[in-house]
Amino acid sequence: MRFPDLRQTRFNLITVGYEILDGKILNTNSKWLAEKITSMGGRVDRMITVGDDVDEIVWAIRESIKSGVDWIITSGGLGPTYDDLTLKGVAKALRRKLVLNRKALEMLKRRYEKLYEKGVIPSPELTPQRIKMAMLPRGGKPLKNDVGSAPGVLLRYGKTRIVCLPGVPSELKSIFENEVEPLIKKSLKHVFRVERWFEVKGIAESTLAPKLEILRLRNPNVYIKSHPRMEEGKSVIRLQLISAANKLKTAEKRIEDVAESLKKIVMEFEGELSSIKGDET
Amino acid sequence: MRFPDLRQTRFNLITVGYEILDGKILNTNSKWLAEKITSMGGRVDRMITVGDDVDEIVWAIRESIKSGVDWIITSGGLGPTYDDLTLKGVAKALRRKLVLNRKALEMLKRRYEKLYEKGVIPSPELTPQRIKMAMLPRGGKPLKNDVGSAPGVLLRYGKTRIVCLPGVPSELKSIFENEVEPLIKKSLKHVFRVERWFEVKGIAESTLAPKLEILRLRNPNVYIKSHPRMEEGKSVIRLQLISAANKLKTAEKRIEDVAESLKKIVMEFEGELSSIKGDET
C-alpha cells in the first residue's frame, strides 16, 4: 500500500519508441521524471512504453485517462520524421484534429533561421516535415524547446492534463524544468513527505517478515518496504520508511513511531540496526 | 512500422514495484529482457510498470492478454513479504486460485535447509511467509531459482504463456537463461534479422526526412529509423536499418538495396555517409 489516506496528485508516464522496446537503450527519461515528480510530492502510478505506432499510443493514452490520473506525460515521437507519431496518437485518442499552431510554427521558424545563420542547415525553409512539428491536437499549447527543434505540447482533457515531451533527454529535461514543473507545482495537493532508511543485519527476511506485517497493520500511514539482499553469504535487509501527511510534523511523528518499534523488534532477535542514507544501487 | 510482413513472436514485459515508479531505480530488467528477446528474433510490444497493487497487476496482465501477445514476462513481487503481490494479481487476472505447489515447496525447503546449515538463518522452518512463495496460480509450474529463494513461475492461458520472475536482477537473469530461454527458442517463429547502422553528416534531418520517406515507401520490409543528434553544432544523423525475413539471404538483400539507395541520396546532397557499429549510447 502507498499512503492510503492521501489524495496525492497522480501521474502516468508514457514512453514512445521502438528503441526502448528493442532493448537498445535504457528508459532513463521515465526514471528522471519519476524522481522529479516523487520529490515534488506527486506519485507515478504507471509507466508504459509502446512502439512508434498510432494505435498503441491511443491505447496508452486512453487507458491512462480511464484510470483517472491527473497528469499524463509522454516522451518521444515528436520529431519531423514519418515515424514520430505521438501527436497523431494523442489526437486520435482524444478524438481531436491535428491543426497548425501559429505559436509553434513561429518557434520552429526562429529555430531554423538560427540554425541556417550558423551554417548548420542549407536552408531555413519550413518544409512539410518541419511544419509537421507545429501540427498540434486542437487545443494544444506549444512548450518552448530551448535545446532542440520540436516544441513540447500541453493539453487539457477534462480534469487530465497531457504533456508531450521529446525523447532526447536534454530536450525533455529542459522543457520539463522550464515549462512543466511550475504548472505541476501549482496543481499539487499539498503533501509533506518524510523518508528514512535502515539496515538490519543478522536477521533473515523471512524471520523479520511477520513482525513487519504487524508493524504495517498498526501503522497504515507509513509505507514500510523491505529490500533484502545477500552480502558475503549473510542476509542484509534494507528497510525504507516513507510517511506523508498534510502536516510535516504529523509525517515525522508517524515515521518516528515506526522507527522506535523497529528498534525493539531488532533487539528482540539480537540483530543489528543502523540508520543509512538510502538505497543508491 | 516494424517488419510489417512478419508474424514474429510477440512479448509484453510487466514490471511490478513502487521502487521503479518512485524513480528510485532504473528498470534495467526490462532492458535486459528486451535485448535478449530481440536478439533471439522475438519482439517486445509493450513494457508496463505498475505498483505493488493487486488491481494494477490484474489490469496489466489482462490488457496484455487482450492484445494477443504470445508471452508475458513479469518481474518483481515474488518474495515473502506482504507487498509481494504478483502471483495474487496473476491468479486474479486469470480467475484461478492460488494453490500450494509441492515442487515449489520442495525447492524452498531445500533452499532454507542450505541457508540454515551455512548459519545464515536461525531456523529452516517453513514459516507462512516462506510457504507463500510456493502458492502458485493453479496450473503454474515452478522455475528453479539457483541464486535466491523465490521460484519463478510458468503458466499457460490459452495461447499465451506467462512467466513470473523475481525482481532481483541476478535471480531474474539466472532463471531466464536456465529455464525460460530454451522454451522461448522452441516457440519462436523462425526469423532472420539483419541490422546495419550508418552515420550521415552534413545534411539536416529535415532535409533528409522526405527522401527517407520515399525510401521507406519503396522498401516496406526494411525498418529505417533516423536518430538525429547535434555534435559541435553540426547535425549528425544515425540511421538504423533492420530487415528480417524467413531466409537470411532475403533479409541481407533487402538491406543492401536500401544501403545502395541511401548512398545515392547522400551523394545528391553532398553529405558524408559512413558505416558505423551501432548506437551504443
Q: Which residues of A touch B33 (CB under 8 A)?
A: 23
**Residue A3 belongs to a domain:** no
Q: What percent of chain B has a predicted confidence (pLDDT) above 90?
A: 72
Confidence (pLDDT) at A204? 83
Does A109 share its domain with A216?
Answer: no
Does A166 share its domain with A207?
Answer: no
Does B86 share its domain with B213?
Answer: no
What are the pLDDT digits (tens) for B207-234? 888 899 899 889 988 989 888 887 777 7
Confidence (pLDDT) at B179? 97
**Residue B180 belongs to a domain:** yes
Confidence (pLDDT) at B1? 45
Does B102 share its domain with B231?
Answer: no
Q: With 50 as the cut, is the pLDDT of residue B150 above it?
A: yes
**Residue A143 belongs to a domain:** yes
Does A130 share its domain with A244?
Answer: no
pLDDT in tens, chain A (281 residues): 455 445 589 999 999 999 999 999 999 999 999 999 998 889 999 999 999 999 999 999 999 999 999 999 999 999 998 889 999 999 999 999 999 999 999 999 999 999 999 988 888 999 988 999 999 999 999 999 999 999 999 999 999 999 999 999 999 999 999 999 999 999 887 778 889 999 999 888 878 888 998 998 899 889 898 888 877 777 799 999 988 887 889 999 999 999 999 999 999 999 999 999 875 44
Confidence (pLDDT) at B247? 84
Q: With 70 as the cut, is the pLDDT of residue B159 above it?
A: yes
Identify the helix (H) or strand (E) that includes residue B5: none
User: Residue A27 and residue B27: Cβ atoms within 8 Å?
Assistant: yes
Q: What are the backbone dihedrals phi and psi of residue A27, each rounded to the nearest 5 degrees, phi first? A: -80, 75
DSSP 3-state assignment of B43?
strand
Query: CB-CB: which of A28, A121, A226 is closest to B207?
Result: A121
> Cα–Cα distance between A97 and A91 in angstroms, integer?
6
Over residues B246-250, the mean pLDDT reads: 87
- CATH code, A70: 3.40.980.10
Does A41 share its domain with A100?
Answer: yes
3-state helix, strand, coil in chain B (%, to 5): 40, 30, 30
**Residue B2 belongs to a domain:** no
Q: Which residues of A touch B127 (CB under 8 A)?
A: 206-207, 209-210
Based on the structure, what is the number of domains in chain B?
A: 2
Confidence (pLDDT) at A1? 45
Does B237 share its domain with B170?
Answer: no
Among B168, B187, B206, the domain boundary falls at B187
Does B160 share its domain with B222?
Answer: no
Does A153 share its domain with A22?
Answer: yes
**Residue B197 belongs to a domain:** yes
Does A203 share its domain with A121?
Answer: no
> Cα–Cα distance between B98 and B213 in angstroms, integer?
52
- CATH code, A205: 3.30.70.260
User: Residue B213 and residue A82: Cβ atoms within 8 Å?
Assistant: yes
Confidence (pLDDT) at B2? 55
Confidence (pLDDT) at A244? 80
Neighbours of B106 (CB within 10 A): 13
User: Residue A23 and residue B31: Cβ atoms within 8 Å?
Assistant: yes
**Residue B5 belongs to a domain:** no
DSSP 3-state assignment of B197?
strand
**Residue B20 belongs to a domain:** yes
Over residues B253-274, the mean pLDDT reads: 94
Query: CB-CB: which of A36, A82, A227 is closest to B216?
Result: A82
Per-residue confidence band for B34, with pLDDT thresholds at 50, 70 and 90: very high
> Cα–Cα distance between A173 and B33 in angstroms, integer?
27
Q: What percent of chain B has a predicted confidence (pLDDT) above 70?
A: 96
| Contact by Cβ (8 Å): A98, A88 | yes
Q: For an interface test with A, which of B3, B14, B16, B22 has the most A Cβ atoms less than 10 Å from its Cβ?
A: B22
Q: Grid coordinates in use for B167?
A: 525482481
What mean pLDDT value characterizes chain B? 91
> Cα–Cα distance between B238 and B223 in angstroms, integer?
13
Among A170, A187, A204, the domain boundary falls at A187
Confidence (pLDDT) at A47? 98
DSSP 3-state assignment of B54?
helix
Q: Could you write out the DSSP letters of every residue in chain A?
A: ---TT----EEEEEEE-HHHHTTSS--HHHHHHHHHHHHHT-EEEEEEEE-S-HHHHHHHHHHHHHTT-SEEEEES--SSSTT--HHHHHHHHHT--EEE-HHHHHHHHHHHHHHHHTTSSS-----HHHHHTTEEETT-EEE--SSSSSPEEEEEETTEEEEEE-SSHHHHHHHIIIIIHHHHHHHPPP-EEEEEEEEEESS-HHHHHHHHHHHHHH-TTEEEEEEEEEETTEEEEEEEEEEEESSHHHHHHHHHHHHHHHHHHHHHTT-EEEEE-----
Among A187, A220, A251, the domain boundary falls at A187
> Cα–Cα distance between B153 and B141 in angstroms, integer?
6
Does B179 share its domain with B231?
Answer: no
Does A180 share its domain with A243?
Answer: no
What are the pLDDT digits (tens) for B61-113? 999 999 999 999 999 999 988 889 999 999 999 999 999 999 999 999 999 99
Q: Tell me how long chain B is.
A: 281
Exposed e or buried b for every residue in B36-56, given b needs 16+ CB within 10 A?
A: bbbeebbbbbbbbbbbbbbeb
Q: With 90 as the cut, is the pLDDT of residue B188 above it?
A: no
Provide the residue range defining the domain that includes B88: 10-187
